[in-house]
Amino acid sequence: MRIAVFPGSFDPFTIGHEDIIRRALPLFDQIIVAIGYNSAKKSMFDYEVRMKWIEEIFADEKKIVAEAYEGLTVDFCVEQKAQYILRGLRSSVDFEFEKAIGQMNQSLQPSLETLVLLCRPEHTHINSTIIRDIILHKGDVSNYVPKVVGDYLKGLY
Ligand code: ADP
């Protein structure tokens, strides 16, 4: 069984995240979308809300599950018996970060492989940090997030 963990903050979950997961589906038997929980870092959306979005977006896809985790991603992968870490790449800035973290993760846990998929060109500018800023100022982010997330945000305004 080929199991991948797709770790991230997903604060909020975007169509960029969704696209990477869907494109990776043929490669794996299971993809665990893993919401990193950091008690010291305040997120805009509670992890319960993020978890529910992911479960709803992939309700029809049995291979995808949502989990929250605290601590090292490599420890979570071992616990879940995952052999792969899945990540998305938007830019050279992402590349430098993914390279460092991927090499460090492999150094910590040599059996773990990081698999990076290039994002679609039309998703390069979609970034959760910028989207949070737009939400904070009550802008419209419906073009950048799945419908489930867009509907949730409309309910807030
Ligand atoms: P983190 O807090 O680790 O940056 P994110 O939720 O922002 O978590 O991202 C999780 C993964 O999704 C990362 O590999 C990131 O590069 C990727 N990602 C984020 N936005 C996009 C996008 N627009 N297109 C493709 N991949 C993306």
Q: Does residue 14's CB lie within 6 angstroms of at least one atom of ligand 1? A: yes
Give the distance (Å) from ligand 1 centre to CA of residue 54.
14
Residues assigned a catalytic role = 17, 41, 90, 128
Which helix (DSSP H) or strand (DSSP E) does residue 73 occupy?
helix 73-80
Amino acid at 60: D
pLDDT score at 37: 86
> Ligand 1, atom 26: nearest CA belongs to which residue?
88
pTM for this prediction: 0.95
What ligand 1 atom has the least distance to the C-alpha of 8? 8
> Angle at the Cα of 57 (from 54 to 59), degrees rounded to 5?
95
Tens of pLDDT, residue by residue over 58-75, are 999 999 999 999 999 999
Q: Does residue 90's CB lie within 6 angstroms of at least one atom of ligand 1? A: yes
Domain ranges of the chain: 3-156
How far, in Å, CA of 140 to CA of 11, rounded? 16
Tens of pLDDT, residue by residue over 1-57, are 999 999 999 999 999 999 999 999 999 999 999 999 877 778 999 999 999 999 999
Indicate the top mutation candidate among 90, 93, 123 to test ligand 1's pocket, ranked by most ligand atoms within 8 A of CB.
90
How is domain 3-156 classified at the CATH fold level?
A: Rossmann fold (3.40.50)
The model's confidence at residue 114, banded by pLDDT at 50, 70 and 90, is very high
Angle (deg, nearest 10), helices 73-80 and 92-108: 60
Query: Which residues have CB under 8 Å from 39's CB, separation 6+?
Result: 70
pLDDT score at 148: 98
Is the pLDDT at 152 greater than 80? The verdict is yes
How far, in Å, CA of 145 to CA of 89, rounded? 18
